[in-house]
Structure 1
């Protein structure tokens, strides 16, 4: 069991598949459309690195997801939560056998519980990544920000399987760690996404611009404070001032990036707002709290789509 499939031909999927294949991993890309699979088979994947670094062209086999048969290997699920619908999950159940390992790389929350119920007997590894990527076209991806990926270690997955995934991703030049405290990592990333993503999507700005005026700073500070209070009741352990500074650091470190939600809005695609701020609003309701800021940005982003 040393084969790897990356499912999803978006920005993260192209980046992971290209880097894994370039490093010598036995990796294949599964795409949502026949057209993209055909183009990748003809052209390979082009990875554009940071300014000044040469691009890498990686020949790789691609298959349309609907044509894939049973797969005995590791699956990196790099589609967005909006793609995880009933027909998609039915296909996953047909392809991934009981005992198969699926690494979940989605933003937001709720997908792990959904897939756990829909795919009994499969081993799900929850991952949190801050790698920045932007798809330029069907076969080209730009690596816009070097980040970290953390794999949940507190799961019923053989340690050797987790170590294999970690080793292959590190060999591909990615920073990867196993974590026994992934819930806190998930909540931290959810907090950052819940502030940066809707703000950039609504205002049509890059990450570094969210605090470039007094009015923007007041807006993101209010959204942050409300979200922090809700997530703290869910088990978020860090202090508020430390996380606020971390959020500002992320904004500056990725200042030229367009968030994934902004990219979806500009492309006219459905966003993941329901799985980020919408989910936080539902958390607040369960806690008996109000969430006017999260409810407002959820409604605004949905109205744009």
Structure 2
């Protein structure tokens, strides 16, 4: 059994997927729940195309006791800072904090009250969705990139991830990967939420296709100014490819709006707009969709 014990904040699809993989790799895994669980452990079910796998994970309440030395955060971006604050007294002084959360901008707030803890990031193209509580479907294989935006070296705990069946890679330039994913999300997610449509409609409907193009023009401009040259050069093609490859998907932002939940707009388009301000760039199309999503009142 691997000696590393991972605590995971967020029991959604990706949190459960990563939990199952780390358990299979020999790690101890505890899911930290908002409400006190009825039992100290539970079965976690992962369905895939040809199989269904059940594993046992430990359950704990976020406000419980016991030191945390390896923390994985898979909550929504808007919940990340409060989630870490809720367990801050339990986090060891040198404990690693690994964010696997959409968008950008939340980690700076965490660093402000936990300045000594090394912070890492993970971005993944694995496909997973929730079927029920602690029951997910692993719907597609991808790549999981892990890295440090602070130039920290490869940590010893990365071996835990290498032992999983996921394609996990250490990325020395994780900020570029995070920006690229955020840029694509900026072009797709807000429009699907506003127009209540599947991703594929953004390519099929002429008006929406033009809106995507307008957003991409502005996102590319900011990307270039911020030093993300590759994203700027390939954004139109990459967004088109993602729309085509996920044509039948409902974006996470659309799902949040449909369920009456708050969205990640402030850490996706909002972060883009804040970055644009640094370079005195005006993004009228992105500002428009940002305000429209805010106007949904979520």
Do the two structures share a fold, i.e. TM-score over 0.5? Answer: yes
Normalised to the residue count of structure 1, the TM-score between the two structures is: 0.88
Offset, 1:276: 0.7
Where do 5+ consecutive residues of structure 2 fail to align?
Answer: none
Between the aligned partners of 1:266 and 1:102, the Cα distance in structure 2 is: 31
Q: Which residue of 2 aligns with 1:28?
A: 30
Offset, 1:191: 0.6
* 1:282 maps to which of 271, 274, 280: 274
Between the aligned partners of 2:191 and 2:207, the Cα distance in structure 1 is: 12
Q: Which residue of 2 aligns with 1:245?
A: 237
Change (3 A) 1:134 1:271: same
Alignment pair present for 1:293 and 2:281: no
Between the aligned partners of 1:39 and 1:11, the Cα distance in structure 2 is: 21
Offset, 1:62: 1.1
SS of match in other structure, 1:122? coil
Change (3 A) 1:142 1:303: farther
Q: Flag the structure with higher helix content.
A: 1
Change (3 A) 1:32 1:288: same
Offset, 1:85: 4.2
Change (3 A) 1:239 1:133: closer
Offset, 1:145: 3.1
SS of match in other structure, 1:211? helix
Q: Which residue of 1 aligns with 2:41?
A: 41
Between the aligned partners of 1:68 and 1:257, the Cα distance in structure 2 is: 39
Q: Which residue of 1 aligns with 2:214?
A: 222
SS of match in other structure, 1:110? coil
Normalised to the residue count of structure 2, the TM-score between the two structures is: 0.90
Alignment pair present for 1:61 and 2:58: yes
Q: Which residue of 2 aligns with 1:80?
A: 76
Between the aligned partners of 2:291 and 2:149, the Cα distance in structure 1 is: 35
Between the aligned partners of 2:38 and 2:67, the Cα distance in structure 1 is: 21
Between the aligned partners of 1:152 and 1:227, the Cα distance in structure 2 is: 24
Aligned length: 295
